[in-house]
Structure 1
Amino acid sequence: MSPASPTSSSSSASHASHASPSPLASHDSEEAVALARGDDAYERIRHDVLTCVIMPGAVVSEAELMRRYGIARTSCRVALVRLVHEGFARAIPRQGYRISPITLADVEEIFTLRAQIEPMAARLACGNVDTELLQRLDEACEAPFADKPIDHQIEWFLRTNRKFHLTIAAASGNARLYRTLAGLMDDMARLVSLGFGVQGVRPRIEHDHESIIGALVTGNAPRAEALARQHIETFLQQTKEHVFASLSASGTWLPYLSIADLRK
């Protein structure tokens, strides 16, 4: 038998390269798609938990969430497992999942931790932080949105305020401090959404940011530390007042009402 010609060898190789993917490759691809869908479901549901679109204390079922977000059961379970792990929900046998409630004790605990780590972050960030970036974030935080719904104003505030504080934390050079504060800022989002969102007012603390930036620009670490602590103490009083008002107005029915309902 004569040896195969170069042309036939090339043709065989070309045919092999266009062959159907192996079952293993197909399985890996399906897993990647499933993971991506689970991540997307988690991000969407988590956003609504943090902004109190899904109210604290509410009991939700997998079937309800699947309908609401147009997701499959597997994606829904991935999202819920992650939310439980983060402490934003807990499983209730034969009922579903309860979204973690908010209490005044939560306000105290979150702000107590912030008061410990953020002044330290401000002191460590002196000489390392991008103060021009902080200035831009502060200006964005103060941007007027009088023509927008209050929910939009609060969500914008939460996003820009979070970036402001985490920029300082990142410049501290302490990765654990940064991760801890990032978690606290997520907890803060629920406090602000419930307290200020129900009351229909936007937080007014941006001038504190200007003072902190001024201390960081001049490299005055003790002053930056003191101003960061003062800022947190001021916002604590505002937040506690508004959360208390929202909880008082809702009574025991808070889990069953939306923020819009509670404003009526």
Structure 2
Amino acid sequence: MSDPQFRHPTEPADTDSVSLGLAAYTAIRRDILTCRLVPGSMVTEGELMATYGFGKNSCRIALTRLAHERLVFARPRKGYQVAPITLKDVEEVFALRVQLEPMAARLAVNRVDTQQLHRLEAACRVEHIGPLPHRIDVFMDANKAFHLAIAEATGNERLLRTLSGLMDEMSRLVALGFNVQRVKPEIRHDHNSMIKAFEDRDERAAETIARRHIETFRTQTMEKVYASLSQAGTYLPLVVAGGVR
């Protein structure tokens, strides 16, 4: 979990309360997406208040919003469960990405800023920039920005919003690989190949590389998920609809 960043002995009403609720939501959501709050684990309002330094009202605002996004589930008399990672979720996310991202790459040819992509790819190289939690944050932000820069270049706002949501869902899977194996997915080759295709204005190559990247990433991700399960056991459930595998 994150170290407490905001400490308010009292929580003013109205605007200040909404602002603190947003801050609580942002901090807790970040830790869910980076798996510092372990998938499937239980948390209580009191635990979140103690960890993040927010008051009860702010935590409730945050939990209400997180529940709406299905990142937590209320469990009567127990608290809240951090959303488990399910095989169905993984399959659905990859099924959409493998269709949408190659299309986005093709449409972005002649539009995307390749210098920006070079900077974002370089930002994904996080091996020597500090402790593991910081490396996870930096890599996830840079990798997401790389893919969304391509989507944004298409000019299709719905495509951009959809891929942004999918990247957020994917982030927990990426974080599992970091947390267990202490490595990031090896994406440098694909990113650079994609940039070259954009520089060459080669629509077919950009589309093909994007598809290969997602398919390879799916295999790597599932290997890391299962490695996480093997190491963490029942504390990191991978479930399907109706039960645990």
- Range into which the TM-score falls when normalised by the shorter chain: 0.7 to 0.9
1:196 CA displacement: 3.0
The residue that corresponds to 2:102 in the other structure is 119
| Residues 1:168 and 2:157 are matched in the alignment | no
| Equivalent pair of 2:177/2:184 in contact (CA under 8 Å) | no
| Residues 1:105 and 2:88 are matched in the alignment | yes
| Equivalent pair of 1:52/1:190 in contact (CA under 8 Å) | yes
| Equivalent pair of 2:101/2:211 in contact (CA under 8 Å) | yes
The residue that corresponds to 1:242 in the other structure is 224
The residue that corresponds to 2:115 in the other structure is 132
1:65 CA displacement: 0.9
What SS does the corresponding residue of 2:81 show, helix, strand or coil?
strand
| Correspondence 1:138-177 to 2 at 5 A | 138-142=121-125, 144-145=127-128, 148-177=130-159
1:116 CA displacement: 1.0
1:157 CA displacement: 1.3
The residue that corresponds to 1:36 in the other structure is 19
Q: Identity, % of aligned pairs? A: 54
Work out the CA distance in 1 between the residues paired with 2:127 and 2:179.
17
The residue that corresponds to 1:51 in the other structure is 34
Instruction: Please list every run of 5 or more consecutive structure 2 residues that lacks an aligned counterpart in the other structure.
Output: 1-11, 238-245
1:60 CA displacement: 1.0
| Equivalent pair of 1:104/1:244 in contact (CA under 8 Å) | no
Instruction: Please list every run of 5 or more consecutive structure 1 residues that lacks an aligned counterpart in the other structure.
Output: 1-28, 256-264
Work out the CA distance in 1 between the residues paired with 2:192 and 2:45.
45
Greater helix share, structure number: 1
Work out the CA distance in 2 between the residues paired with 1:156 and 1:120.
27
Question: Would you identify which runs of 4 or more consecutive aligned residues in structure 1 move more than 4 Å?
Answer: none
Structure 1 letter corresponding to 2:194: I
The residue that corresponds to 1:185 in the other structure is 167
1:144 CA displacement: 4.2
- How large is the RMSD of aligned CA atoms in angstroms? 1.6
Q: Which structure's CA Rg is the greater one?
A: 1
The residue that corresponds to 2:184 in the other structure is 202
TM-score for the superposition, normalised by structure 1: 0.81
Work out the CA distance in 2 between the residues paired with 1:73 and 1:63.
8
